[in-house]
C-alpha cells in the first residue's frame, strides 16, 4: 500500500463531495467526537452545519478550536481521509449576520433531507433550540492510500 499526501485542492474536492463527517471538540482536556452532516462552501473556506443545543454546542462555545474528519473508504488498502482544522462560529439572527445565515440555509437545501439528523427529535429532550454554525477552516490535511502495484 502506498500513502500519498493530498494537496489543498484535492482536500477541497473531497469536502465538496462529502456530506457526513466526524466533528471533534474538546473541553477540560476531554475530547468529544460526533458525526455531523455539513455543507462545504469553497468560496468562503468554511463548512456550515446546525444542531440542537446540547453538549457539542456547549463545548464549542467554550473552546472554538475544532476539527472535522471526512473519510472515503473503498477497501482497507484504498481510502482517503481529510481533516479540516478550524474555528467554530455561531451564526445568529442578527442583521449583520443575515448574509451568512442566508448562505448557510442555501447550502443546506442543496442536499436532500438537509435537516437530518440535527433537527430530529431526541427522546427525553424537550429543548429544541436550533444553532446554525460554521467552521471557518484554518488548515487542511489529507491522505490517500492505494494498493501497491504488484
Asked whether the beta carbons of 77 and 145 are under 8 A apart, the reply is yes
Higher per-residue pLDDT: 84 or 147: 84
CATH code (residue 78): 2.30.110.10
Q: Which residues contact 72 (CB under 8 A, 6 or more apart)?
A: 14, 18, 79, 80, 81
Range of the domain at 56: 2-146
pLDDT band at 105 (very low <50, low <70, confident <90, very high): confident
Q: Is the peptide bond before 124 cis (omega within 30 degrees of 0)?
A: no
- Its pTM stands at 0.83
Whole-number percent of the chain with pLDDT over 70: 87
- Give me 23's grid cell: 466533528
pLDDT (tens digit, 9 = 90+) per residue, 50-99? 898 999 999 999 999 999 999 999 988 899 999 999 999 999 877 777 78
pLDDT at 126 over 80: no
Amino acid at each position: 500500500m502506498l500513502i500519498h499526501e493530498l494537496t489543498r485542492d484535492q482536500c477541497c474536492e473531497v469536502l465538496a463531495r462529502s456530506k457526513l463527517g466526524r466533528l471533534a471538540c474538546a473541553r477540560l482536556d476531554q475530547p468529544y467526537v460526533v458525526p455531523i452532516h455539513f455543507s462545504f462552501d469553497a468560496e468562503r473556506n468554511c463548512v456550515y452545519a446546525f444542531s440542537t443545543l446540547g453538549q457539542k454546542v456547549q463545548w464549542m462555545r467554550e473552546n472554538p478550536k475544532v476539527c472535522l474528519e471526512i473519510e472515503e473508504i473503498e477497501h482497507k488498502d484504498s481510502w482517503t481521509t481529510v481533516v479540516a482544522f478550524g474555528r467554530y462560529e455561531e451564526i445568529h439572527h442578527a442583521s449583520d449576520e443575515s448574509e451568512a445565515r442566508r448562505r448557510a440555509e442555501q447550502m443546506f437545501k442543496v442536499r436532500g433531507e438537509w435537516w437530518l439528523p440535527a433537527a430530529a427529535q431526541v427522546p427525553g429532550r424537550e429543548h429544541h433550540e436550533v444553532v446554525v454554525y460554521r467552521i471557518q477552516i484554518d488548515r487542511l490535511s489529507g491522505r490517500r492510500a492505494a494498493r501497491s502495484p504488484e
